[in-house]
Chains A and B, each alone.
Chain A
Amino acid sequence: MADRKAELERKKARLEQMRRERKEKELSKTRNVGDDSKTSVKSSGSDASGAEPDDILREFGISPAPEGSPATPKKAAAQSQAVKEVEVPTSVSHTTPRKVRLSVAKVNETSIPPRENVSYSKETQTIIADPVDKDDDDNDLDFIENLEGSSSHAHQFRGHGHSHGHGHTHKMPHVEMVAPATTSEEQNKEHKKQLSEEEKKQILMSEGFQKFFDHSSRIVERALAEEVDIFADYSGKDSGGKDDEAMAGERLKVNRDFYDDKWSKHRIITSLDWSAQHPELLLSSYGSNEDATNVPDGVALIWNIKYKKDTPEYVFHCQSPVMSSCFAKFHPNLVLGGTYSGQIVLWDNRVNKRTPVQRTPLSASAHTHPVYCITVVGTQNAHNLISVSNDGKLCSWSLDMLSQPQDSMELQHKQSKSVAATCSSFLSGDANNFIVGSEECLVYSASRHGSKAGINEAYDAHQGPITAIDTHRVPGQIDFSPYFLSSSFDWTVKLWSIKEQKYLCSFEDNSDYVSDVQWSPTNPALFSSVDIMGRLDLWHLNHETEVPTASVVVDTNVALNKLRWHQTGHHIGVGDDMGRIYIYDVAENIANPKADEWSKFVRTLQEMKQQATEREEDSTLLGSAAPIR
């Protein structure tokens, strides 16, 4: 206790001393300027004592820092000069020989993220709203070329223009700035030049211009393709003489052919149909082009036989190969296509689109297998689209709404065996009963409604898948509507009556798959068939039932896939599997029925029936079930 008191007194004394010394230093500030070196020496010398005054000061609550901070080197020097023992508190750092270990500290980071501006921009265009179609894939061609070149590219230009039109309408406002001042003449010239280039593009992209261009290019194309006389159908041939007939007389003559390099090349023609309202229009549908990769798989073209131009009137395409197509009978602007994917697509030629305007869903409610048969049945006010797909499903649709079928039915024969339908044909004037041909070599008759809805009867005689069915539809005094023809891979065409289980007559003149057969729309006893050897046959049953009355082989020896009679009965359109359509003229003496054609046909049929029964008896005698060749 006494020690402590003594210590305290000692400390107090030292403090007072220090205070006095400081006062002295302040007075003698100015005298001592450059004595830094001495300071340092002295400071190192008196280490031990330096710690103490600090402690003392702290004890008394006086922090050494504020006094030391304003200390200039002069002051320090002055202080240190005066006091040898006590060290200036500022130089405390030198007194304590602390081991200083320096190292890099952790990086201090501060970050404030920027505010994210959620912006929503929406543009609306009120003028020149082009219906830009995203499916439009016309990507090639310079439209400038098209202006000069053949307007067969008009369609592509149109598509191309769409994609540009959209981009251009953004840039629309006032791009034409006049060049810097030159002589008035030059200025005018330049002004003109600039204007015309910019303006040209603008105008070309506008909707009004494109419509006009489309319309007038058609007309100009026709005019250009025309030669002197318009009745070229009856005078010379356009596509070079192809007078291949085995028979005497010009019974079947090639009129012209339709082929488009871009759209129909290497594509098999899957169906043909003539328009009811415009008899000169021929619709052809095409399968896929395996050679090209970036072209749409399914194409449908509308050709015109009235004019000499050799480009299609309309080009439609879709993403899946089109297996069957038809004009919508009561809607002159609509074209229907059944595709490989099971989708049924609807094109409209009023719209400037080449892609379908309506599609059926690709779901189990519709078709999931290739649609090989589509027909429009009914009357003007009550009609349906009937489609049969390869899995035996029959759907009936309303043309207004293709989003779901109005009605669907599974065609099954006996023990729930689905019919793999490849072709179908409705009975003449009947929207209920129809005939279906299948891959299983059977022909079925079926009904849509009624007590016997579904498959009724099966006709078994062919040995190969059925390729085509056609029911008789020639109007006349005598109704031959129960009779139908079937063609198949077994090289034969057979004539049936739906009332009989056994066929009436078999036409076996072909030596390869018969791909299509059709009755003439005007002559009750006439029908035509094509096979894959390139042969087009005309059978006139009142003249001859064993061999065709006229037969022609197509030049190039390609397989003929489809055939379709023109409504007048004077032309036959034949499609091959390389994308070419031939239009054949049928000689009038054969095409036009004579007055007694119907009664003669009745007799012919009776003869056939007789032969059929004889055949039956023979076969039962021989013990074989079906008469085979």
Chain B
Amino acid sequence: MDDFQSGEETAFVVDEVTNIIKEAVEGSIGGNAYQHNKVNQWTSSVVEQCLNQLTKLSKPFKYIVTCVIMQKNGAGLHTASSCYWDNQTDGSCTVRWENKTMYCIVSVFGLAI
């Protein structure tokens, strides 16, 4: 009990984070159609929820959460990101979610402290 590994859970667990993100997105914009006046709220809420859940994990991580909501209009969207970090401990995870009217892309980067 007192013998806690210092490396316990100090690696970014992608699956866990993915789940968190999915729940956050579903919760915020779940069955909604794209509405321009509400999108701001949604992005903020997604990010906040994600972050809250992530911090609840109590891991020694710095998190960066980004959320992009794009209306389905026929336009193309292309993003890319790369990181320079410690591959053993740090990680990122991106979740793409969509419904009939919009796309939502959430990225979480976790950097071990």
Instruction: Report the Cα distance A63→B52, complex, angstroms.
Output: 13
Q: Which residues of B contact A416 (CB under 8 A)?
A: none
- Check if B74 sits within 8 Å of A111, measured CB to CB: no
CB nearest neighbor in A for B74: A115
B-contacting residues, A7-21, CB 8 Å: 7
- Check if A93 sits within 8 Å of B113, measured CB to CB: yes
Cβ-based interface call for A65 (8 A) = yes
Given contacts A59-B2, A102-B85, 7 further A-B contacts (CB under 8 A): A63-B55, A92-B113, A93-B60, A102-B86, A105-B84, A108-B80, A115-B75
The digit string for B33-54, where 1 denotes a CB below 8 A from any CB of A, is 0000000000000000000000
Partner of A105, one of B1, B75, B79, B92: B92
| 3 tightest Cβ-Cβ pairs between the two chains A and B | A114-B76, A115-B74, A63-B58
Main secondary structure of the interface of B (DSSP, over half): loop
Cβ-based interface call for A112 (8 A) = yes
Q: Which residues of B contact A58 (CB under 8 A)?
A: 4, 58
Cβ-based interface call for A104 (8 A) = yes
- Check if A101 sits within 8 Å of B74, measured CB to CB: no
Cβ-based interface call for B28 (8 A) = no
* With known contacts A4-B2, A65-B58, A111–B85 Cβ distance under 8 A: no
- Check if B78 sits within 8 Å of A7, measured CB to CB: no
CB nearest neighbor in A for B8: A58
Q: Which residues of A contact B (CB under 8 A)?
A: 4, 7, 51, 55, 58-59, 63-66, 92-93, 96, 100-115, 117
- Check if A105 sits within 8 Å of B87, measured CB to CB: yes
CB nearest neighbor in B for A96: B6
Q: Which residues of A contact B82 (CB under 8 A)?
A: 104-108
CB nearest neighbor in A for B61: A65
Main secondary structure of the interface of A (DSSP, over half): mixed
Cβ-based interface call for B70 (8 A) = yes
Q: List 9 A-B contacts (CB under 8 A).
A: A55-B4, A59-B2, A105-B82, A105-B83, A110-B77, A110-B105, A112-B103, A115-B72, A115-B75
- Check if A109 sits within 8 Å of B74, measured CB to CB: no
CB nearest neighbor in A for B57: A63
Q: Which residues of A contact B4 (CB under 8 A)?
A: 55, 58-59
CB nearest neighbor in A for B3: A55
- Check if A65 sits within 8 Å of B70, measured CB to CB: no
Q: Which residues of A contact B87 (CB under 8 A)?
A: 101, 103, 105
* With known contacts A96-B6, A108-B81, A111-B79, A65–B86 Cβ distance under 8 A: no
Instruction: Report the Cα distance A109→B79, complex, angstroms.
Output: 6
* With known contacts A114-B75, A117-B74, A51–B86 Cβ distance under 8 A: no
- Check if B77 sits within 8 Å of A105, measured CB to CB: no
Instruction: Report the Cα distance A110→B106, complex, angstroms.
Output: 10
Instruction: Report the Cα distance A101→B90, complex, angstroms.
Output: 11
- Check if B60 sits within 8 Å of A111, measured CB to CB: no
Cβ-based interface call for B94 (8 A) = yes
B22 to chain A minimum Cβ distance, whole angstroms, is 16
